[in-house]
Each structure stands twice: as C-alpha cells, then as structure tokens.
C-alpha cells in the first residue's frame, strides 16, 4: 500500500539526497520547457476519506445492473447461468488473493488450475495448444493476427477480416497493427454473413490471415469450412472467432480447418461486471506453439517422480529479450480462467450441450414471437442464441421504452453499422423463461403500435 501513501517533504528530501539531486525540479531539468504542462491539473481539490467514499458511492449508484431488468443483451457478453460452485471455488483465498503467476515459482495449485483450463480449451476447440488466457476477446483476435504475421512472415501483407466480426474486436486489431507493416481489409457482409466467394476473390499470396466469427456479431453462422479452404489455398492462416457455449452443439474450430481459434470467455462463469474484466481464449495447432503469446503451463514430474506442473513457455518481453518476444502481453486472466475451468467442470459435456440446446430453442421461439409483433428477422440465416431483427421506426427510442417496461431489449445494430440502423440484435440464453420472452414480445408490440 506504500505506493498510495503521500510522500512527506522529509521523504522527498531523503530520496533526492540518496540519488544526489538537489531538487525535484533539477530531477526533470532535461525535459525541455516547451514540453512541460506549465500549470496545475484541472482536477477538484482533495477530499477526506468520508467525502471520497460518499462521492464514489454516488457514482457507483448510477450503474445499472443486468439484474435491474430482464436481460436480452448480447454482442459478446451474455447473461448465462453461473453455478454457485464457480463463486465458491474462485473466492477461496488461495486463488482469489494469489499474485498473477508471472514466474516459474508460482504455486502448484495455481499452475495446475491453469493447466486444467488449457486442457479444457483444447478439448473444446479440438486444437492442440491453448495459452494461459488473454485479456478478452478483442485482444485475443489481435494477438492471433500477430501470430499469423510471425508464422507467414508476409511483410507488407494483408489481413482480411469479415465485417461481421465484432466491431470492437476489429477496432482493437486496428490499434494493434497501426504501426506495423500490414494492411487490414474489412470484407463487407451485406447479407449478414461473409460470402466465401468474396473471400476466394480477395485472397492472394500477400494474404496473411482470414478472420471470421461464427456465430458472428449479428448472431448468424458463417460458412467456416469454405472460408478456411479459401484461406489455405494461398497459404494464409485461418483464424476462427468462436463462442464457447455454442460449441455445445456446433462443430469444433478444428473440424473446419482453423489454424488459430480465439474467443471471449465471458459466457463461461464470468458475470457482466459492468463491462469487464473478461477472459480472452486462444488455441492453435501445435506447430505454432513458438509463436503463441503469453505463457503455457505444462505437466512434468519432480525428482521423486511425482506429477507436478511448471511454467513451460513464456515468450514475452519480461522474460526474454524484447526483440525476441512474440507479444507484449504481460499478464493472464488467471482468476477468470479458473472460473471458466470450474464452470465447464460443473456443466460437463452433457451440461454444455443442454445449455446450447436451450439457447437455440429459446432464441428461435423469441424470433418467432417478435416477428408476430412486427420485429421480423433482418436476414434469413441460421443462428444459435442471438439474432438481428428489423424494427420499424427508431430503434433507440424503442429500447428506451422497453427499459421503462423492465426489459433490456437488445443492442441497436446501427450503433456500429449505420447501414443497418433498423437492426435490433437480441440475445436469448438458457436463463430466459417463456414468460419473459412473451413479455418482451408484448412490450415490443405495444411500443411499435404507438
């Protein structure tokens, strides 16, 4: 806590004396005057602890929780059921207060938990290797593209990414590669999905990677096998952005040729948390293991022959020479990786399949009921737990009205896609009841009538 304790004048004098500098001003003398701020920061005066607590409590009370209304929100964060065992295990002091496992000397319990998580991610995707997690879905997409750059070594190449990939993931990718020698081209999806024929025309020997998401941001399934085939014809890396819960029913990324598969893991035992933190999943083929970001935990035996775990690979800038690091990712979401592992263990394969099946059935029922009141599907495409409806009138006005009626009715697609300003993307998880779905449809019908 010393980092948050005010330095007294005596503390400052002692530090300056130790380093042989007469004053704080002299410490920064080498910074040119024209680069200095030259005035005090425009911030409020300091508050007492009582005042600060009251102020922060007031700000926190402005937050709106998903439990404040019936939740049909999606777009990468979903209101899935979280078994109570997830909180019980993840809140144990051994895990909850443990320092993030940077070093090889991390506790055996932490290392084993990460190893189990990695194993489950490989089983889920069908790929060979999973890292110890990343920040969230967006950084996982970006790190996968950096991997592809290292694998193909196509300097000055091009990354093709579907417009139907989560727009915020695409923004993160654009930020990552801003100063790199690579072009990112977004392929349009006017029909709500990426046409494999368009990819076949766009790829070339300069293509570094093809990135597609299924189910995509609109909720639709993509033609992933065909997209992967188009990528491989030119030696490009095929990156699959998947939904973990949907894999209870859908084919694995490995089955349609994914070289790297990434995902947002929030649906695996992680609450909304007002936007995060979440969990970035990344898995790949074994031949790419030396290009993977972050760290890997492996199983071994100690000198007595007892099974144990160790930090096997950590190709990051804090462990090896910066110029040799595959990534500047400096931590992993260890606690949320643990939650995901506990969540999947509690469900088991049968439970995950049942969850996905319930999502499919309830989402399709919701689409049917909304269509009856005037919010018809915008595209005729297969979907799992999320779909985009076309709404007459102002979507944002409708959503405000639904909020007053006690429903978070979905996401306004036009927020990210102005050409689809009439779109309302609705997510329906296993938690939604028939009564809640019927209530949403009735509220939408009432609002659309006037």
- CA separation for the pair 417, 376 (Å, rounded): 18
Domain ranges, residue 361: 67-79+348-449
338 in the same domain as 365: no
CATH label of the domain that carries residue 382 = 3.90.1150.10
Asked if 47 and 74 sit in the same domain, the reply is no
Instruction: Select from 343, 372, 394 the last residue of a domain.
Output: 343
Structural domains counted in the chain: 3
Considering the domain architecture, whether residues 227 and 102 belong to the same structural domain is answered as yes
| Same domain membership, residue 143 and residue 37 | no
* Shared-domain flag, residues 112 and 197: yes
**pLDDT, tens only, 102-153:** 555 568 888 899 999 999 999 999 999 999 999 999 999 999 999 999 999 9
- Give the domain-ending residue among 310, 343, 376: 343
Is cis: bond before 215, omega within 30 of 0? yes
Same domain, 330 and 379: no
Query: What is the model's pTM?
Result: 0.88
| Bridge partners, residue 411, by sequence | 425
Nearest to 235 by CA among 312, 154, 297, 311: 154
C-alpha pair distances (Å), 172 with each of 155, 337, 439:
20, 21, 37
Domain match, 122 and 46 both:
no
In a shared domain, residues 311 and 427:
no
Note the pLDDT tens digit of each residue in 347-368.
Answer: 999 999 999 999 999 999 999 9
pLDDT tens for 398-422 read 999 999 999 999 999 999 999 999 9
Same-domain status, 186 and 259: yes
User: Which of helix, strand or coil describes residue 364?
Assistant: helix
**374 plus 277 within the same structural domain:** no
Measured distance CA(229)–CA(238) in Å, rounded:
9
Mean pLDDT of the residues in the chain? 92
Which of 308, 323, 343 represents a domain boundary (last residue)?
343
Residue 118 sits in a domain whose CATH number is: 3.40.640.10
Q: What value does the mean pLDDT take over residues 257-268?
A: 97
Residues 364 and 403 reside in one and the same domain: yes
Q: Are residues 34 and 98 in the same domain?
A: no
């Amino acid at each position: 806590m010393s980092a948050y304790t005010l330095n007294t004048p005596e503390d400052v004098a002692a530090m300056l004396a130790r380093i042989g500098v007469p004053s704080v001003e002299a410490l920064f003398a080498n910074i040119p005057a024209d680069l200095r701020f030259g005035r005090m920061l425009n911030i409020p005066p300091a508050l007492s602890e009582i005042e600060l607590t009251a102020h922060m409590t007031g700000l926190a009370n402005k937050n709106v929780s998903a439990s404040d209304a019936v939740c049909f929100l999606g777009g990468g964060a979903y209101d899935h059921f979280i078994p109570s065992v997830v909180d019980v295990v993840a809140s144990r002091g051994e895990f909850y207060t443990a320092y993030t496992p940077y070093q090889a000397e991390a506790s055996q319990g932490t290392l084993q938990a990460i190893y189990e998580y990695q194993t489950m991610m490989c089983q889920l995707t069908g790929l060979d290797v999973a890292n110890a997690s990343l920040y969230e879905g967006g950084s996982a997409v970006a790190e996968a593209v950096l991997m592809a750059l290292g694998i193909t070594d196509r300097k000055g190449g091009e990354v093709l990414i579907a417009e139907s990939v989560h727009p915020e993931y695409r923004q993160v990718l654009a930020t990552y590669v801003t100063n790199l020698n690579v072009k990112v081209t977004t392929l349009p999806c006017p029909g709500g999905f990426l046409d494999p024929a368009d990819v076949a025309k766009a790829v070339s020997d300069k293509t570094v990677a093809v990135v597609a998401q299924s189910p995509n941001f609109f909720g639709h399934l993509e033609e992933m096998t065909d997209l992967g085939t188009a990528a491989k014809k030119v030696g490009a890396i095929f990156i699959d952005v998947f939904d973990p819960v949907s894999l209870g029913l859908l084919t694995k990324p490995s089955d349609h040729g994914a070289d790297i598969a990434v995902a947002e893991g929030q649906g695996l035992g992680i609450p909304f948390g007002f936007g995060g933190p979440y969990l970035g999943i990344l898995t790949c083929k074994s031949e790419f293991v030396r290009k993977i970001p972050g760290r890997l935990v492996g199983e071994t035996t100690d000198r007595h022959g007892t099974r144990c775990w160790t930090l096997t690979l950590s190709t990051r800038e804090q462990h090896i020479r910066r110029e040799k690091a595959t990534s500047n990712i400096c931590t992993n979401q260890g606690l949320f990786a643990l939650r995901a592992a506990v969540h999947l263990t509690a469900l088991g394969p049968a439970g995950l399949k049942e969850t996905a099946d319930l999502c499919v059935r309830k989402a399709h029922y919701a689409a049917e009921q909304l269509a009856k009141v005037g919010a018809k599907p915008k595209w005729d495409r297969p979907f799992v737990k999320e779909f985009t409806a076309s709404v007459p009138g102002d979507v944002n006005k409708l959503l405000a009205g639904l909020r007053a009626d006690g429903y978070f009715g979905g996401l306004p697609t036009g927020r990210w896609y102005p050409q689809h300003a009439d779109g309302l993307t609705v997510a329906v998880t296993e938690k939604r009841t028939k009564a809640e779905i019927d209530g949403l449809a009735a509220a939408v019908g009432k609002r659309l009538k006037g």
